[in-house]
Amino acid sequence: MLTRHKGTIGVTLAIVWAIIPLVFPIGDLSIEGRRMLAIFGAAVVLWVTEAIPLYATAVLIILAEIVLVSDEAIVHLSDGFDAPKYASFYGALAHPVLMLFLGGFFLADAAAKYRLDRNLAGVMLRPFGRSPAAILGGLMAITALLSMFMSNTATTAAMMAVVLPVSASLSASDPLRTGLALSIPVAANIGGLGTPVGTPPNAIALGRLADEGIRIDFLTWMALAVPIVIVVLLVAWVLIVRWYPAEADQVDVQIGGAFDRSRPAIVLYATFTVTVSLWMTEPIHGVPSTIVGFVPVVVLLTFGVMDSDDLRNINWHVLWLVGGGIALGTGVSAAGLDVWMVGLVDWSSLPRIGLLFGLVLFSLALSTVISHSAAANLLIPIGVSLATASTIDLDPAMAAVVIAVACSLAMSLPVSTPPNAIAFATGDVATRDLARTGLVLGALGLVLVAFVAPPVWDALGLLP
């Protein structure tokens, strides 16, 4: 009943928001700008309240843009308005960045199907011995590494299956039970920052930059983000070890097993190795990661590694959510809404560091209470437009990257991310555990992303 009531309120607010700019003039904003403001505002309300599914809002955005601001709009457009082709909005659902993400989904799902993720974790965990602190660090490092190439949710589910039997063998009063369960979602959230396929906000940033003619290759993204991953992951490990000290002197973790040697599994191993290698060496061979990302889709389907059932289980709703965000950015730019919104404030009076601080802080705050993907969909187009249109010294690529990273570092509540929800569902992690860990790591991320990383990126010339 509460969910239904919440949905009714959210839909009502979205309709009211949409009607106001459609009916009443707003300053010097054009007709098309007012229509996009209606679409943008309704999307904000629906994504924040989750009155309807997030992916439903995404496709609603695409239809509304086609009906209101495309060259096939059913209502009159201003004379002289260069209306975008309606196919460009549909095309957001097949944007090259989505193909990159689709390839990541195929590799992740195939790895889970043939237990490659569990077996790799078993191999990588062996050097860490049996010390609780070392085991905890090993689990976090492996989780972060896997989440760079698999979805955070899939990685958390796989690694939680490893951790739960270990937790069950510990005393009910042992703080390590909480530490183990908490370490997995924290590491998965952090690790997802590291690559373009690690988490949807990264794909949203790359898609919006691609629409601006700005391209960041796979290796460059890693150079930007992996140092942040390492620092935040190390601090998270220290915090969890200190806050949840083990009662036992040793922990025995049994994980992995024999690698599958069937023909489909071998094809998967080869495809995984080649795809990741091509992603990592993009600056050498020059083949865009978005093209490389489609290779595993073709190979795994062609050789029967993935079948029709696996195809149905792909997270299509996530791809549609990202596509809706890309379409929203296209519409905001085409209608001139971005220029109008940026012009409401004299940004030139703010130093770059102040603007970066504001972008990161707002991204962290919004992503704490709504989906990371939804927050990125809302904020990245505005951040890129701000950097493009203002007179301040802010690069569009930097704006997109810092917002994407900040969105993924918000993990203070069970609702902040699916990995948090999985950990919370175990019963070993309370809201207060997520809150204090998430707040400290969020504050650290704020300092790193707003103050430390940008000058380093500038000095190394990492941004295009």
Contact between residue 342 and residue 359 where contact means Cβ atoms under 8 Å apart: no
Residue 55 is inside which H or E element, if any?
Answer: helix 54-69
Task: Convert the pLDDT of each residue in 15-74 to its tens digit.
Answer: 998 999 998 888 888 999 999 999 988 988 888 788 888 889 999 999 999 999 999 999
> What is the pTM for the complete model shown?
0.82
Average pLDDT rounded to a whole number, residues 162-191: 87
Q: DSSP 3-state assignment of 56?
A: helix
CA pair distance 368, 439, nearest whole angstrom: 10
pLDDT surpassing 70 at residue 390: no
Among 123-132, 296-305, 357-366, the range scoring the smallest mean pLDDT is 123-132
CA pair distance 211, 213, nearest whole angstrom: 5
- Residue 12's alpha-carbon distances to 6, 7, 53, 55, 315, in angstroms, are 10, 8, 15, 19, 29
CA pair distance 223, 23, nearest whole angstrom: 48
Residue 417 per-residue DSSP state: -
Quick one: pLDDT at residue 337?
Answer: 85
Contact between residue 198 and residue 149 where contact means Cβ atoms under 8 Å apart: yes
Q: Which residue has the tokens 């299956």?
A: 161
pLDDT surpassing 90 at residue 289: no
Quick one: pLDDT at residue 263?
Answer: 95
Among 170-179, 271-280, 341-350, 383-392, the range scoring the smallest mean pLDDT is 341-350
Measured in residues, the chain has a length of 464
Quick one: pLDDT at residue 394?
Answer: 85
Task: Convert the pLDDT of each residue in 202-251 to its tens digit.
Answer: 999 999 999 889 999 999 999 999 999 999 999 999 999 999 998 877 77
pLDDT surpassing 50 at residue 1: no
Quick one: pLDDT at residue 255?
Answer: 64
CA pair distance 421, 203, nearest whole angstrom: 23
Task: Convert the pLDDT of each residue in 252-269 to its tens digit.
Answer: 766 666 788 999 999 999
Mean pLDDT of the residues in the chain: 88
Q: How many CB atoms lie within 10 A of CB 285?
A: 9
